[in-house]
Amino acid sequence: GQNIDQPTEMTATEGAIVQINCTYQTSGFNGLFWYQQHAGEAPTFLSYNVLDGLEEKGRFSSFLSRSKGYSYLLLKELQMKDSASYLCAVRDSNYQLIWGAGTKLIIKP
Amino acid sequence: IAGITQAPTSQILAAGRRMTLRCTQDMRHNAMYWYRQDLGLGLRLIHYSNTAGTTGKGEVPDGYSVSRANTDDFPLTLASAVPSQTSVYFCASSEQGDQETQYFGPGTRLLVL
pLDDT digits (tens, 9 = 90+) for A51-104: 999 999 999 999 999 999 999 999 999 999 999 999 999 999 988 999 999 999
Cβ <8 Å between A99 and B43: yes
The pLDDT tens digits for A29-41 are 999 999 999 999 9
Contacts of B105 in chain A (CB under 8 A): 42
User: Does A2 score more than 90 pLDDT?
Assistant: no
User: Does B1 score more than 60 pLDDT?
Assistant: no
Query: CA-CA distances (angstroms) from residue B107 to B10, B59, B69?
Result: 8, 19, 21
Q: How far apart are CA B65 and CA B76, in angstroms?
A: 6
Q: One-letter amino acid identity for A81?
A: K
Q: Which of B42, B48, B101 sits opposite A99 (nearest CB)?
A: B42
Contacts of A85 in chain B (CB under 8 A): none
* Nearest in space to B85 (alpha carbons), one of B74, B93, B77: B77
What is the DSSP-derived secondary structure letter of residue B40?
Answer: T
Cβ <8 Å between B103 and A45: yes
* Nearest in space to B23 (alpha carbons), one of B60, B93, B73: B73
| pLDDT attached to residue B97 | 74
The pLDDT tens digits for A7-23 are 999 999 999 999 999 99
Contact A81, A71 (CB under 8 A): no
Contacts of A97 in chain B (CB under 8 A): 43, 45, 102
Half-sphere exposure of A12 (CA within 13 A, CB side): 23
**How many other C-beta atoms lie within 10 A of the C-beta of residue B6?**
21
The pLDDT tens digits for B66-113 are 999 999 999 999 999 999 999 999 999 999 777 889 999 999 999 999
Query: A87 and chain B: CB distance < 8 Å anywhere?
Result: yes
How buried is A75 (Cβ within 10 angstroms: 0-12 exposed, 13-18 middle, 19+ buried)?
Answer: buried
Contacts of B43 in chain A (CB under 8 A): 43, 87, 89, 97, 99
Cβ <8 Å between B104 and A87: no
Cβ <8 Å between A45 and B41: no
| pLDDT attached to residue B40 | 86
pLDDT band, very low/low/confident/very high, at A45 (cuts 50, 70, 90): very high
Query: Could you tell me the sign of the dihedral formed by the alpha carbons of A12, A65, B41, B97, in that order?
Result: positive
Cβ <8 Å between B104 and A102: no
Name the residue of chain A whose CA is nearest to B46's CA: A96
